[in-house]
Amino acid sequence: MNLLEIEGLSATIDGNQILRGLDLALPAGEVHAIMGPNGAGKSTLAHVLAGRDEYEVTGSVRLDGEDLLTMSPEERAVAGLFLAFQHPVEIPGVGNSYFLRTALNAVRGARGENPLDAMDFMAYVKQRMALVEMDASFLSRSVNEGFSGGERKRNEILQMAILEPRLAILDETDSGLDIDAVRIVAHGANTLRAPDRSMLVITHHQRLLDELVPDVVHVLAEGRIVRSGGPELAKELEASGYVGLELEGAR
């Protein structure tokens, strides 16, 4: 069964059409990677799925059978969608622990579940922090303030681990990371794989996929999926690049 179904998705911003009738099916329990040249529409796809409202969007997107495009960003989060940002921002003055607990309890409350009190939350979050090798001292710091690039990306995976989404979108989470940080981030994501959870991983680099090993690799070019294959496709792209793929997809 497909958790995410996208049909004919088009997106335009400031008169510039970026997505051009994109089709994609993501079964429950699978990890799919999206690769492609700069400007192809990879981050636009992530933003549209998350609900950024500056795009003019047409087409159909269904998450677990529900019409995603009619939902607000908050409703999408409650439905189980999570986006790890390519460039996580600092939120000075807002403690990481407060931010994480507030986000979790907001989602739990919208689903009719009881909120976690401070003691239960701390026990839960410390267990999840072990997945991304983060020290408990990060909980007392402001969100991403003074964090290195690797620490910011690990904090994104920590948020994912705490919220336990049905669909996790990782938008170039490996961007700017060294080899050790990529390994840690991939380990955290791998630990969260589950039969009822899917991941859409946007990346430029094979090295993340060597650690994550996706079920399917898609190539996005000129606003649509032009080719799909197994993990070996990422190695082919690493060797040959994207030249000609736009023409191949147009045939």
**Token duo for residue 52:** 């950024």
Task: Report whether 55 contacts 44 (CB < 8 A).
Answer: yes
Q: 59-79 burial by CB neighbour count: b if 16+ within 10 A, else e?
A: bebebbeeebbebeeeebbbb
Q: What whole-number distance in Å separates Cα of residue 112 and Cα of residue 226?
A: 41
Task: Report whether 3 contacts 26 (CB < 8 A).
Answer: yes
For position 177, what pLDDT does the model report? 83
Q: What whole-number distance in Å separates Cα of residue 177 and Cα of residue 187?
A: 14
Q: What is the DSSP letter of 125?
A: H
Q: What whole-number distance in Å separates Cα of residue 170 and Cα of residue 189?
A: 9
For position 175, what pLDDT does the model report? 81
Identity at 169, one-letter amino acid code? I
Q: What is the mean pLDDT of each run of 10 residues along the chain (251 residues)?
A: 96 96 97 93 96 95 97 94 89 92 93 92 90 84 88 89 94 84 87 94 89 95 95 89 63 38
For position 248, what pLDDT does the model report? 53
Q: How far is CA 115 from CA 99, 104, 124, 171, in A?
A: 14, 8, 12, 29
Residue labelled with tokens 């507030």: 102
Task: Report whether 131 contacts 191 (CB < 8 A).
Answer: yes
Q: What whole-number distance in Å separates Cα of residue 181 and Cα of residue 201?
A: 16
Sequence ranges of the domains in the chain:
2-250
- For residue 95, list its beta bridge partners: 142
For position 246, what pLDDT does the model report? 57
79-106: per-residue pLDDT in tens? 999 999 888 888 999 999 999 999 999 9
Q: What whole-number distance in Å separates Cα of residue 226 and Cα of residue 220?
A: 6
Classify 2-250 by CATH class. Answer: alpha beta
Q: What is the Cα Rg of the chain in Å?
A: 18
For position 69, what pLDDT does the model report? 97
- Indicate the pTM of the whole model: 0.91
For position 27, what pLDDT does the model report? 97
Helices (H), the chain: 42-50, 73-79, 96-110, 118-129, 149-163, 179-191, 206-212, 232-240, 245-250
Where does residue 52 rank: exposed (0-12), middle (13-18), buried (19+ CB within 10 A)? middle
For position 8, what pLDDT does the model report? 98
